[in-house]
Amino acid sequence: MRRMTMATVAGVSLLLMACQGGQNPSASPSATPGDSVQQSASSSPSDQPSPPPSTGEALEGFHLDDVLRVEVNSLAVRVKPYTTEPLATGSRFDGTKLNVIGSVRLNVGDYVSVEHGPVKIGDTTWYRVWPAEDGRLHYSTVSWDTNGQVDDGIEPAWVAASVGTDVYLTLHEAAHPEPWMSGLPLLVSGSGNYVSGPLQSTDLFTLDWVYLIDDQLAPCGFRVTLGAIGGAEGVMVVDESTIGAFEDGSVRLGNADGTPVAGEGVDPFELRVASGCEWTLRLEPQPHD
């Protein structure tokens, strides 16, 4: 999982509730999807994200590192993409230590950047995001904690981008991916099987994924294979299943030794997903010496 380090300048635009001593009286009511929220603007069709290019079935969505603007007040930032999950905890560095501020909620005019998604659960569309303070990619003076271990890093967390026709996040600035790898980085989401378009191979990747059960039967499996274009064989890099509701993981692929991750001579390659779950994954090449 990619991580951000704490910024050292002051000032944030995150709306936070006090963690101790009761709730912040200035905090507006919960923006949990389905609750009443104050919405400053509705997205027009031109604001909607475009679908990622592929030859398989994929959900339309925002792209990796797109910077999104929050269009509602008190939008919950959650540990997992369910309205029953706890909120992430915010902390700010005072020069010597991190001080816990409280549960993280976002306000109209705040910004986040895309890490994973979209994931559809019922009529709610979720993304795992990083804070993007002042619309700046990978920048924040507040740490988000999702595992109960406050440190000097920032972890991504889940927010609802929309519920039904109510839009909570809109595109502020599209990502500017490095052009050195064809088809990459790849961020794709779906429900069921998927086959990517051609991807340029290299000898070192990171693969991160999330899969979960919405209304599917358990157990639900999730397999990822890298192989030749149009082929039946390949290198299986993920083979998991769950009887619970939510699973995520990350793996390093390749040894940075000049051998393509999908096998000698397999360039370009395709990524295949076999799953009955809701899922999202990110495949990124990793430069090295």
Tokens describing residue 209: 């994924």
- Per 3-state DSSP, what percentage of the chain is helix, strand, and coil (rounded to 5)? 0, 45, 55
CB 144, CB 115: distance < 8 Å = no
Q: What is the pLDDT of residues 177-211, one digit of tens each?
A: 776 677 889 999 998 899 999 999 999 999 999 99
Residue type, 112: V
By DSSP bridging, strand 194-195 and strand 269-275 are: antiparallel
Q: How far apart, in whole angstroms, are the C-alpha atoms of residue 105 and residue 107?
A: 7
Domains of the chain are: 12-35+47-173 (no CATH), 186-285 (2.60.120)
Q: What is the pLDDT of residues 10-67, one digit of tens each?
A: 333 343 333 333 333 333 333 444 343 333 333 333 344 433 434 446 899 999 999 9
Greatest extent of the chain over all pairs of C-alpha atoms, in Å: 62
